[in-house]
Structure 1
Amino acid sequence: MIPHRIGELFRHRDVTGTSGTGVVAQITQFSNGMVALCWLGEHPSVSVWDSLEALLAIHGHDGATVIYWDDGAIQEAADHTFDIRKSPASRS
């Protein structure tokens, strides 16, 4: 079982021209691995995913997306490869 955690989905670049850049969504990962994603912005919505890997396979945009977790960890999605490390001082 994984720990329950919350974070922010951050976009370095807007690949589709829809979500924008910076923090574009809030994310919750539950202890069973399921993930809820709440999109921010002009047309907010909520989606639920079976896993973080499934979410990032669709919304990772080949490295344009990073998740900043509330515990200071960073999770990047680059070509469906996931890297977790501690947060730097800046998210720029």
Structure 2
Amino acid sequence: MEIKKPAIAGTLESSDCQVTVEAGEGKVDFSLESAVINQYGNQIKKVAYETLENLGIDNVKLTIVDKGALDCTIRARIEAAVYRSVGQIEDLPWGGAIR
């Protein structure tokens, strides 16, 4: 899958995160802003990279502004932003459920 246009998913509310995806420059460019980066930064990065790998994305600029989101929320927000970016609005394979 290839990022076609910039897209955003999520909010800046507590226990959520805002994810932005844009076309990359031949690699995954990851940026994270979080109040809990020292405690959970590595886990957030791991979840982000696993989700991108599951979606077949290896060329993206991914920005996450975290407000205490759980792993499942981070995954869902990344998936939503990617699907919006590619214009996929039907038969969404959330979490790999549809294949």
TM-score range, shorter chain: 0.3 to 0.5
Which gives a bigger RCO, structure 1 or 2 (Cα 8 Å, sep 6+)? 2
Question: Which has more strand, going by share of residues?
Answer: 1
Question: Which has more helix, going by share of residues?
Answer: 2
